[in-house]
Structure 1
Amino acid sequence: MVERARRGSAASRVFVVVAVAVMALVLLLSGLLVLDAQRAARAEAEEVTHAVSSALAVTPAVVGALDGSAPADLQPFAESVMADASVDFVTIMTPDGIRVTHREREEIGRPYLGTIPARPVAATEEFTGTLGPSIRTITPVIAADGDLVGWVSVGLTVGSIASDIVPRLPGVLAIASAVLAAGFVGAYLAQRTTRQVAGDLPAGTIRDAVSSYESVRTLGEALRAQTHEHGNRMHTAVSLLELGRTREAIEILTETSRQSQALVDQVAARRDGDPTVGALLLGKAAQARERGVEWTADIAADAPRSSLSPVDAVSVVGNLIDNALDAAAAGSAPRWVRVRFTSAGERMLRIDVSDSGDGVPPDLADRVFEHGFSTKPAEAAGRGVGLSLVRSIVEGAGGSVDHASDPTVFTVVLPGRDR
């Protein structure tokens, strides 16, 4: 039983997530290192072929043989260069591309397979010839009088270049192994730290604990504001009675009862209303008046009760209202907050919370539901938790949450509770 709890605990999930992320990073890093090794090997091949072909193009034996001033069989010379320079082929040819030398002797006298530049300049390319795909550099051979007397092409096959990468792979493997080991150590430390904080509690239980805390916090603030407001009105009424101003005292008490009763009637009119959310709205109404914000709450009679538990329902609605009150109070007059509960059809509940605040900047609109993100000051309590928790609860219940601007409106759609 304990072992099953450990496997499903938040600490174990942290370990798995970090480990998977590290493995993905290692795979990406290994791929990049291999690609870099291939790029480096290709660059080296281009440098080698260019250097060897350039050197051969000015070698007196090659120039003399092609110029005809010192006729010679260049095949043995080309073969010795291939062996000494570790290149796959050295092809020396006439100005019109007829081979004088070739790795395969039977190809001598046949046309060169590759691009011969229109002007006597060196050029490097990848081309598929008799030896397969290769990186090759062709360089003009210029006689003493400045005439073009031939060409020298030096190349390395793609297979040879690929084989040059193999010696680099142990280094790539060592780097990848080191990163992987460091990542697993980090995953273990993250698991251990999480277990010290949360024990073996499942992730869902931790979220529920956060939701419970948020529910108690927002409901407590709402009830405190309501108690404070009622206390002020009662003290005022008592003072008026002591002064003999009975009519004014009755008006104050009647107005207090009327404002609360209007919302109570909306909650009571629903067949399956949520009394916890109703109590929250009563408290938030007092909190809005306390902060100088005009408050409107409208609950349609046919609005179904959501499938959320009372704790999660208070957490969702409370956080949305708290954000709206903060935004409205910080904005310019008129300051208002409106809350609407309506039916979205097919036993779906829609909750709209709108406010007169400045809204979310367009460049930050996609980040408002990220954990830890907030437009509030850095020292604000609970910074960046509320909307992230709202999304987690709503999506976990099979609902959706979205927001719009002008005015700012946060909309939650939730499945209704089965009767």
Structure 2
Amino acid sequence: MARRGVMRSAASRVFAVLVAVVLVAGVLTAVLLVLDAQRSARVEAERVTRSVSETLADLPEVRSALTSGPSAATAELQPVTERITRSAGVDFITIMTADGIRVTHRDPGQIGRHYLGTIPGTPVARTEEFTGTLGPSVRTIVPVLDGGRVVGWVSTGVTVESIGSTLLPRLPYAIGIALAVTAAGVVGALVVRRLTRRVTGDLPAREVRDAVSSYESVRTLGEALRAQNHEHGNRMHTAVALIELGRTDEAVELLTETSRQSQALVDQVTAARAGDPTVGALLLGKAAQAAERGVEWEAVLDPETPRTTLSAVDAVSVVGNLIDNALDAAAAGPEPRWVRFTLAPGDAGGVVVEVADSGDGIPQGTRERIFEPGFSTKPADETGRGVGLPLVKAIVEAAGGTLRLDAEPTRFRAELPGRETP
């Protein structure tokens, strides 16, 4: 059981993904090297065939033999082409008359027959792949000129089979390089796995996400409670000072107004009996945080809203991060500054969570990236940036819900499945 747990850990999953990527990269490297070797072999064959054909076409002996008649040309040139074929590493050299009748050939039985291939209509060199008596081959045909007049042609070729055989010596190099790339990638994956395990231990990926969610929940609750404590502390100090100055009525009015504002939100929270009490406590703290930052706060909670299927930790992460982003945007935006939170029943017994703000909005070019891990439109601080929204999206989608962004005003809308109430 312990071994199965390790194999499902986040570190092992990262390792498996990296190894899969490395293996694919290794295979692609080998394929690309083989294709490049094949291309290089073909280019080399084209270069050699052109060079041999041009050299023979320029020889005075070849011109003289072609002008002396087919029989004399065969007797003089066949031994020459056989010797050059062996020494140049080509498969055939065919010399022919101007109208394409062979006077030399690798198979003497083919002499006197018409050349199989393309004879250019103008006296120019041409390289092509053509299937002749020896099968598919890469060949270059060059005209033999005598005073500007075509007296014959020289065609030199290398069969495709021969080109393929030149790849065999290069395969070990390609495989060796691919194995080296794979080995280096696996070593890198092992290092990443070790580093990941230092952070996550043997926790499964879901538990790592839950740990991050718990941290975010504690952080946002802590900030809310700190703001609430700070606001109440300021008001209490002010009330005490007013009492010491003998201005008791003003002190009573201040405390009454404070109680009235808090009680209004408490009434809304407690009216939603099926709701999450942890989220209710969070909203009370966020109201104080908004007041501290000079942002008008409005919370609309439908008492008929069912409870979501999220755990208390995940619910606080979703609501807290959405509100934190809205407060940051509103506080940095133009006046009037406001944040509006809405909790209402959705379709088919679901729950709709909406957070809107008066900020400047999210630029069109970055709207598709705001849910990417590590991406943020705000500068990083000691707590880091680019974690909240990706975490919210992951939690919502894992619960079977959806999260979307609307503009003008900026509004995040999360639709979550509701929990059946006994």
TM range (shorter): over 0.9
Q: Do the aligned residues in 1 keep the contact of 2:73 with 2:103 (CA within 8 Å)?
A: no
Distance 1:296 1:135 in 2: 79
Give SS of 1:367's match.
coil
Q: Deviations over 1:171-225 (max 9, x none)?
A: 1111111111112212222222222333222222222111111100001101111
Give SS of 1:302's match.
coil
Q: Do the aligned residues in 1 keep the contact of 2:306 with 2:345 (CA within 8 Å)?
A: yes
1:80 is the counterpart of 2:80: no
Equivalent in the alignment of 2:396: 394
Deviates further, 251-260 or 320-329: 251-260
Equivalent in the alignment of 2:385: 383
Q: Do the aligned residues in 1 keep the contact of 2:296 with 2:337 (CA within 8 Å)?
A: yes
Give SS of 2:138's match.
strand
Deviates further, 216-225 or 361-370: 361-370
Distance 2:17 2:7 in 1: 13
Give SS of 2:34's match.
helix
Distance apart, 1:69 and its partner CA: 7.5
Equivalent in the alignment of 1:203: 205
1:112 is the counterpart of 2:115: yes
Give the 3 Å change call, closer, same or farther, for CA 239–108 of structure 1 in structure 2.
same
Give SS of 1:109's match.
coil
Give SS of 2:142's match.
strand
Distance 1:416 1:2 in 2: 35
Distance apart, 1:146 and its partner CA: 1.6
Distance apart, 1:154 and its partner CA: 1.5
Give SS of 2:347's match.
coil
1:50 is the counterpart of 2:50: yes
Distance apart, 1:380 and its partner CA: 5.2
Deviates further, 68-77 or 21-30: 68-77
Deviates further, 388-397 or 277-286: 388-397
Deviates further, 239-248 or 150-159: 239-248
Q: Deviations over 1:379-416 (max 9, x none)?
A: 45222211221122222222222223332222222221
Cα-Cα RMSD:
2.1
Distance 1:412 1:197 in 2: 30
Q: Do the aligned residues in 1 keep the contact of 2:272 with 2:304 (CA within 8 Å)?
A: yes
* Unmatched segments (≥5 aa) in structure 1: none
Equivalent in the alignment of 2:106: 103
Q: Percent identity?
A: 64
* Unmatched segments (≥5 aa) in structure 2: none
Distance apart, 1:274 and its partner CA: 1.0
Give the 3 Å change call, closer, same or farther, for CA 132–268 of structure 1 in structure 2.
farther
Give the 3 Å change call, closer, same or farther, for CA 235–184 of structure 1 in structure 2.
same
Equivalent in the alignment of 1:20: 20
After the TM superposition, which residues 174-323 of structure 1 pair with which residues of structure 2 at under 5 Å, given as runs?
Answer: 174-323=176-325
Q: Do the aligned residues in 2 keep the contact of 1:267 with 1:274 (CA within 8 Å)?
A: no
Give SS of 2:343's match.
strand
Give the 3 Å change call, closer, same or farther, for CA 63–198 of structure 1 in structure 2.
same
**For residue 33 of structure 2, what is the amino acid of its counterpart?**
L
Distance apart, 1:72 and its partner CA: 2.1
Distance apart, 1:320 and its partner CA: 1.4
Give the 3 Å change call, closer, same or farther, for CA 108–376 of structure 1 in structure 2.
same
**For residue 98 of structure 1, what is the amino acid of its counterpart?**
I
Distance apart, 1:353 and its partner CA: 1.8
Q: Do the aligned residues in 1 keep the contact of 2:96 with 2:154 (CA within 8 Å)?
A: yes
Q: 2:141 aligns with which of 138, 142, 151?
A: 138
Equivalent in the alignment of 1:60: 60
Give the 3 Å change call, closer, same or farther, for CA 158–388 of structure 1 in structure 2.
same
What's the TM-score, normalizing by structure 1? 0.93
Give SS of 1:124's match.
strand
Give SS of 1:72's match.
helix
Aligned pairs, number? 418
Q: Deviations over 1:68-98 (max 9, x none)?
A: 3793213333232222212122222222333
Q: Deviations over 1:227-286 (max 9, x none)?
A: 111221222233333444344333322332333333333333324111111111111111
Distance 2:360 2:379 in 1: 15
What's the TM-score, normalizing by structure 2? 0.92
Structure 1's consecutive aligned runs of 4 or more residues displaced over 6 angstroms after TM superposition are none
**For residue 129 of structure 1, what is the amino acid of its counterpart?**
G
**For residue 327 of structure 2, what is the amino acid of its counterpart?**
L
Give the 3 Å change call, closer, same or farther, for CA 275–72 of structure 1 in structure 2.
same
**For residue 2 of structure 1, what is the amino acid of its counterpart?**
A
Distance 2:67 2:294 in 1: 100
